[in-house]
Amino acid sequence: MQTIIVTTLLLSLIINIFVKKIHLPTIIGYILTGTAIAYGFNLHNAVSNHDLKEIAEFGVVFLMFTIGLEFSIAHLKRMRNEVFVAGTLQIIITSSIVYLIAYYLLELDPNSSFIIALVLSLSSTAIVLKILNESGEINRRHGQRSLGILIMQDIAVIPILLIIGFMSSKTENISTVLIEMAFSAVILLSILWIFGKYLLEPFLTQIIKTNSDELFVGSILFLAIGASYIAHYWGRFRKRNI
């Protein structure tokens, strides 16, 4: 594992130096690095490795945490047209076009066409946000519109996963599943809200008083990973008791 990590870091540095010289986004260098590592260490079956999947999910956690730092309810209200109007239209129009192509041209069955259409209507927030940040276009009008659409896509992931789960399930009662998920979400959000309102501010105040950059970074990492762990643990707990 250490060999893979060290080799990955070395390759990413070398490849990204070359990539930046030809004025390409570093995300391309990371993709090339991943491809090279997959072939070099025969990691094509790594998706079935539980430990590697757990490590990979940290990237998603930190990405969502970064977006949360840059966003607020007031910001969301100002961008409601970009998020809820433009974002919803993009998903509907893209999925409709892909569905028609998959169903009528490729002659796939309706369920497969529907799932493919939903999946292809989404884009990678990590890649797009990385490119926008590097180019400095995140603060421009088109960058804000792109960010709004990305946020709507991230929100849409939850109902899309639910739809796919319901389509693949033949024994579950949909109304029961929805009620259980809503109940779990309310409890989880209540716990996080209480913690954030009554415990988080005093905690961060004490961290700031130490004037230690290491403690501040450590506390931020703890909060991001801790919140995701609570959500993960609660999900596993609910599954064991269903």
Cβ pair 160, 118 in contact under 8 A: yes
- And the tokens for 220? 């931020």
pLDDT at 64: 66
User: What mean pLDDT do residues 170-178 have?
Assistant: 60
Cβ pair 91, 159 in contact under 8 A: no
Contacts 24+ apart (CB under 8 A), 10-17: 11/36, 11/37
**Summary mean pLDDT of the chain:** 77
pLDDT at 137: 77
pLDDT digits (tens, 9 = 90+) for 110-151: 888 888 998 898 887 777 877 777 777 777 878 878 888 888
pLDDT at 38: 79
Domain ranges in the chain are 1-44, 51-171, 173-242
**How does residue 44 score in pLDDT terms, banded at 50, 70 and 90?**
low
CA distance 77 to 97: 30
Q: Which residues, at least 6 apart from 33, have a Cβ–Cβ distance to it below 8 Å?
A: 8, 11, 12, 15, 16
CA distance 173 to 166: 9
pLDDT at 28: 82
pLDDT digits (tens, 9 = 90+) for 188-214: 778 778 877 788 878 888 888 888 877
CA distance 73 to 89: 22
Reported pTM:
0.62
Cβ pair 91, 156 in contact under 8 A: yes
- One DSSP character per residue, 152-211 reads HHHHHHHHHHHHHHHHH-SSS-HHHHHHHHHHHHHHHHHHHHHIIIIIIHHHHHHHHHTT
pLDDT over 90, % of the chain: 8
